[in-house]
Amino acid sequence: MNHKSSNTVWYMPTINRKDRELLHRHKSAVIWFTGLSGSGKSTLAHAIEAYLYELDISTYVLDGDNVRQGLCGDLGFSDADRVENIRRVGEVAKLLIDSGVLTLTAFISPFKSDRAEVRKHFAQHDFIEVYCQCSVEVCEARDVKGLYKKARSGEIKDFTGISSPYEAPEQAELVINTQALSLDDSVQAVLNLLRDRNLIA
């Protein structure tokens, strides 16, 4: 599907990304957290944001549940709707890094093809995939939102890990075993990667 309007042309701004990064005094990028529901994506993304805030780094977390309250509120959880959900998030993430903000996204994003499609719209150094690795058994035991119970009872259809597949990344920039590592250790693993990429000091 072509999502570009034939009646519009991209307006070249006076102030560009490099200017905005100079204003923020740091570079921008997208840190894309993926994993099963309950694997710790949102918890980790927000913990990292809190740390970066103390370093005066401009950040924003695009969270799966929050995005579905508005931007993607018209979408369900069919395969087609999941594809569109991730496409929209990718487009918003592009705008945010153009604004000079270090952007963190927390989405199940279960399909390899969707994540690959998003990735190809970013320069190689701008997209960092972090796989929050956690077994479905552990995620279901946590069941923080009670979603696995609803999925098992049939109240929720097309639930990732139960009635819909999750395709784990094969070449993520970072894999964090969130069922074995503490939150603090997980945060430090991401921060170390950001330092290696010269995104933070």
Which of these is catalytic: 37, 109, 164, 186?
109
Please give the sequence-ordered ranges of beta strands (E in DSSP) within 39-147, or none if there are none. Answer: 59-63, 102-106, 127-133
Say which DSSP state 12 is in: P
Compute the distance between CA of residue 169 and CA of residue 48 in angstroms, rounded to an integer.
21
With beta carbons less than 8 A apart as the criterion, state whether 187 and 141 touch. Answer: no
Which phi and psi (to 5°) does residue 171 adopt? Answer: -140, 45
Respond yes or no: is residue 78 known to be catalytic.
no
Say which DSSP state 13 is in: P
Among 152, 130, 155, which Cα is nearest to 139's? Answer: 152
Active-site residue set: 109
